Amino acid sequence: MSAVRIFFEVLLVIVALALIYTIVTPFKAEVKSYILSIGNRQVSELLYIIGYIIYKLGYLSYTLLDLIAKYSYQAIQYLLNGLGVRG
């Protein structure tokens, strides 16, 4: 397996987790109440723990991608200003 393929697979997982985070965030309370309302207590607790871990990993992924996007934008602006292009 090449390093480039591994890099893109990890990047895909990071983007997927960030996407899950952005989709679930507005409905966080509803999802939590739905999971905890499942009849079987052990299943609902297990789903809640798994969901919590995925949510936190999604938050970290979203934050990482946000930082990369902001610094990339600043770097592009800096390079374009160095070339004399105004934007």
- What is the pLDDT, as a whole number, of residue 75? 92
Per-residue b or e along 57-71, where b marks 16 or more CB atoms closer than 10 Å to that residue's CB: bbbebbeebeeeeee
Q: Where are the domains of the chain?
A: 3-83
Residue 17 contacts residue 57 (beta carbons within 8 Å): yes
- List, for residues 2-38, the tens digit of each pLDDT value: 999 999 999 999 999 999 999 999 999 999 999 989 9
pTM score of the predicted model: 0.79
Judge residue 43's burial from the number of C-beta atoms within 10 Å of its C-beta, 0-12 exposed, 13-18 middle, 19 or more buried: exposed
Residue 18 contacts residue 65 (beta carbons within 8 Å): yes
If one compares 85 and 52, the residue with the highest pLDDT of the two is: 52
Summary mean pLDDT of the chain: 92
- List, for residues 69-82, the tens digit of each pLDDT value: 999 999 999 988 88
- Please list, in sequence order, all residues whose beta carbon lies within 8 angstroms of the beta carbon of residue 36, skipping any fewer than 6 positions away: 44, 48
